[in-house]
């Protein structure tokens, strides 16, 4: 049982954050939020969020698709320079863009002896089955292209392929084994480097671990609209003192824990309740028989185990934070690289 001692309701917009952008920002409180009693705890909830669907399903974390090109005429190469432009696509638009990007990359960076044009690609989509077909025609040489969806699994999902390399060409017509999913980002996660959740865990883009998720927002609208989300559930945090609040966004796919809202801000109502934990009478019934006190040695062993567990927990939290910072730094570095034409 808990008793609410004091409540704080924060109405925030990323536009008014003290530092950062809507992707990752921090508000500094003029008056820090502090527990009135260190034995109490804070509960956090998000009564209302207004999130713009301004992000792109194809973005800088997933837009690169390596491939190999093998021709009986001797033009054999592997390319890592082909990108699908950022944006939101239906399957027909995505197939057209994939052909355009392939032709541009092949002819601009590798110039095979036999010219390859968009007319040589036969990409189709069957709306009745939800499957795609890839093939090539009209070339004098035998050509095989292998798309490396093993390292670009998001584009594979969008085109109906699992996380494995697949080949198609003049002698090989390739049919996707899975239905297409051109909107694989199905949830947006608002996270916090500030709030230390006690009992929240996740296994979304990495293995089971402590979670910093403040809210999971299902994507239920179309691009360029607003996602309205309400949630009254509360999560306990171990913070006793909050001088500021960091929030950042990610999706259900990227291991870099980033999502680009492309400069569009969002609003959030955050409620922080200070609560007093009250004991219940559960499991308190007992016989009127004297119980000997536990040996002092057992109590000391218990305290040592608890201390070791807390030390391990703090170490894991530091390692997780360092790994996220490293992933985000790598993404930022990749975004600063010039995009091949």
Supply the pLDDT for residue 281. 59
Q: What is the mean pLDDT of the chain?
A: 91
Beta strand ranges found along 53-90 (DSSP E): 67-71, 77-79
CA distance 76 to 322: 41
Is the pLDDT reported for residue 327 higher than 70? yes
Of 2-16, 23-37, 104-118, the poorest mean pLDDT is in: 104-118
User: Half-sphere exposure (CA, 13 Å, Cβ side) for 202?
Assistant: 18
pLDDT in tens, 94-114: 999 999 999 999 999 888 888
Nearest to 102 by CA among 125, 83, 74: 83
Nearest to 212 by CA among 48, 324, 59: 324
CATH architecture of 2-55+185-279+312-336: Sandwich (2.60)
Supply the pLDDT for residue 286. 55
Confidence bin at 131 (pLDDT 50/70/90): very high
Q: What is the DSSP letter of 110?
A: I
Is the pLDDT reported for residue 294 higher than 70? no
Supply the pLDDT for residue 224. 96
Q: What is the DSSP letter of 136?
A: E
Neighbours of 42 (CB within 10 A): 25
CA distance 163 to 184: 14
| Distant-in-sequence contacts of 170-174, Cβ < 8 A, 24+ apart | 170/135, 170/136, 170/137, 170/139, 170/141, 170/142, 170/143, 170/144, 171/142, 171/144, 172/135, 172/144, 173/133, 173/134, 173/135, 174/133, 174/134, 174/135
Provide the percentage of residues in the chain whose pLDDT is more than 70. 94
Confidence bin at 122 (pLDDT 50/70/90): very high
SS3 content of the chain, % helix, strand, coil (to 5): 20, 35, 40
Is the pLDDT reported for residue 132 higher than 70? yes
Supply the pLDDT for residue 114. 83
Supply the pLDDT for residue 71. 94
Backbone φ, ψ for residue 204 (5° rounding): -105, -60
pLDDT in tens, 27-50: 999 999 999 999 999 999 999 999
Q: Is 213:231 a contact under the CB 8 Å cutoff?
A: no
Nearest to 91 by CA among 183, 154, 219: 183
pLDDT in tens, 166-213: 999 999 999 999 999 999 999 999 999 999 999 999 999 999 999 999
Nearest to 51 by CA among 269, 335, 204, 205: 269
CA distance 166 to 175: 10
Of 63-67, 71-75, 119-123, 156-160, the poorest mean pLDDT is in: 71-75
Supply the pLDDT for residue 190. 98
Kindly state the average pLDDT of the residues 139-150: 96
CA distance 258 to 254: 7
Provide the percentage of residues in the chain whose pLDDT is more than 90. 76
The residues spanned by each domain of the chain are 2-55+185-279+312-336, 67-175
pLDDT in tens, 222-254: 999 999 999 989 999 999 999 999 999 999 999
Please list, in sequence order, all residues whose beta carbon lies within 8 angstroms of the beta carbon of residue 272, skipping any fewer than 6 positions away: 7, 8, 9, 10, 33, 42, 43, 44, 242
Is the pLDDT reported for residue 306 higher than 70? yes
CA distance 126 to 133: 8
């Amino acid at each position: 049982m808990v008793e609410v001692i004091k409540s704080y309701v924060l109405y925030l917009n990323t536009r008014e954050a003290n530092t950062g952008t809507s992707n990752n920002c921090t508000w500094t409180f003029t008056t820090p939020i502090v527990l009135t009693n260190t034995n109490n705890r804070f509960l956090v909830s998000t009564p209302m969020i207004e999130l713009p669907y301004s992000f792109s399903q194809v973005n800088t974390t997933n837009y690169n698709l390596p491939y190999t090109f093998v021709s009986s005429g001797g033009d054999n190469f592997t390319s890592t320079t082909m990108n699908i432009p950022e944006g939101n696509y239906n399957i027909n638009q995505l197939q057209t863009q994939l052909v355009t990007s392939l032709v541009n990359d092949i002819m601009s960076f590798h110039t095979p002896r036999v010219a390859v044009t968009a007319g040589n690609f036969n990409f189709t989509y069957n709306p009745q089955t939800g499957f795609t077909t890839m093939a090539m025609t009209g070339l004098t040489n035998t050509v095989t292209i292998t798309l490396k969806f093993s390292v670009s699994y998001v584009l594979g999902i969008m085109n109906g392929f699992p996380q494995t390399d697949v080949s198609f060409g003049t002698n090989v017509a390739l049919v996707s084994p899975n239905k297409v999913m051109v909107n694989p980002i199905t949830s947006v996660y608002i996270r916090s480097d500030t709030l230390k959740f006690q009992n929240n865990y996740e296994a979304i883009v990495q293995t089971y671990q402590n979670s910093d998720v403040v809210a999971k927002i299902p994507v239920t609208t179309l691009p360029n609209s607003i996602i309205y989300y309400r949630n009254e559930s509360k999560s306990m945090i171990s913070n006793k003192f909050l001088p500021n609040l960091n929030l950042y966004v990610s999706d259900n796919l990227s291991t870099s824990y980033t999502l680009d809202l492309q400069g569009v801000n969002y609003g959030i109502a955050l409620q922080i309740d200070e609560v007093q934990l009250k004991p219940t009478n559960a499991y308190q019934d007992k016989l009127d028989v004297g119980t000997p006190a536990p040996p002092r040695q057992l109590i000391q062993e218990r305290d040592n185990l608890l201390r070791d567990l807390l030390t391990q927990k703090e170490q894991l939290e530091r390692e997780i934070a360092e790994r996220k910072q490293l992933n985000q730094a790598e993404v930022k570095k990749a975004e600063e690289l010039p995009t091949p034409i």
